[in-house]
Amino acid sequence: MARFRFKLWKWRIAFYFSRVEEVKGVNSQTKSGKHILMWDFDGVENLEDLVLDLMRIQAMYKLPDIYLIQSSEGNYQAYCFKEVDFKTALHIVSASKYVDENYLRLSAYRGYFTLRIDATETRPAPKLIGVIQSRYKPDLSYKDLCSFVIYEQAVKNSGGVLKRCLEAVSRSLKRLRRLTRG
């Protein structure tokens, strides 16, 4: 992603450019209007710590099985088919020490969770790597999910040429500012 910011008199002007790719995702909302639990974890250094954290949450809230997915290197997702209202789901998901804060913020704003479910140009398809088993029964299964979406996601490290171009524009604007002051 290329970022371009400059100050012109008392105005801060910013542009962000990035190549995007289409991504298929699944939303947490079910047919009943309630939600399943969905977590997104980015930059996980120790998978064992993440599993222990999910086990703690599972015990605390008496949750059914939690399905752990690897979405890419060091990045994970988790699904739990416990059906709750969104406020409760947000409370439970945010109890994790490792959940991605941007994911939480965006989910709270939209009123539902979304996770990627297929491969992209730059990332493999998410893959089930384990199940944290429980004695509690799920309220529904993955077959009951009914809300799917195609969304755009920024491709990381995609702004090299554009960034250099914008930096040249920035230098030109700085020269222009100096000339107009003088």
Please, what's the b/e burial string for 48-85 (b: 16 or more CB within 10 A of its CB; e: otherwise)?
eebbebbeebbeebebbbbbbbbbbeebbbbbbbbbbe
Out of 11-20, 72-81, 83-92, 114-123, pick the least confident: 11-20
Q: Note whether 150 and 135 are same-domain residues.
A: yes
Residues 173 and 104 in one domain: no
Q: What tens digit of pLDDT does each residue of 136-170 get?
A: 999 998 888 888 888 777 776 655 555 666 677 77
User: Can you give the pLDDT at residue 10?
Assistant: 81
Encode 119-162 in three state secondary structure: CCCCCCCCEEEEEECCCCCCCCCHHHCCCEEEEEEECCCCCHHH
Radius of gyration of the chain (CA): 21
Asked if residue 97 and residue 12 are part of one domain, the reply reads no
Looking at residues 94-116, what average pLDDT do you find? 96
Tell me, yes or no, whether 84 and 128 share the same domain.
yes
User: Would you say residue 2 has pLDDT above 80?
Assistant: no
Least confident span in 17-31, 64-78, 163-177: 163-177
Q: What is the pLDDT of residue 7?
A: 79
The total domain count for the chain is 2
State which residues form the domain around 169: 2-18+158-181
Same domain? For 123 and 166 the reply is: no
Asked whether residue 148 falls in the same domain as residue 162, the answer is no
pLDDT band at 21 (very low <50, low <70, confident <90, very high): confident
Whether residue 34 sits in one domain with residue 6: no
Q: Which of 15, 3, 25 is nearest to 103 (CA)?
A: 25
What are the structure tokens assigned to 154, written together? 């920024």
Does residue 96 have a pLDDT over 90?
yes
Is the predicted pLDDT of residue 28 greater than 80, yes or no?
Answer: yes
Res 33: pLDDT = 93
Same domain, yes or no, for 92 and 13? no
Q: Are residues 7 and 66 in the same domain?
A: no
Per DSSP, which regions of the chain are E strands? 2-8, 11-17, 20-27, 35-41, 66-72, 75-84, 114-116, 127-132, 148-154
Q: Are 132 and 163 found together in one domain?
A: no
DSSP conformation class of 176: H
d(CA 37, CA 86): 9
144 with 72, same domain? yes
pLDDT digits (tens, 9 = 90+) for 41-70: 999 999 999 999 999 999 999 999 999 999
Please give the structure tokens belonging to residue 26: 């699944």
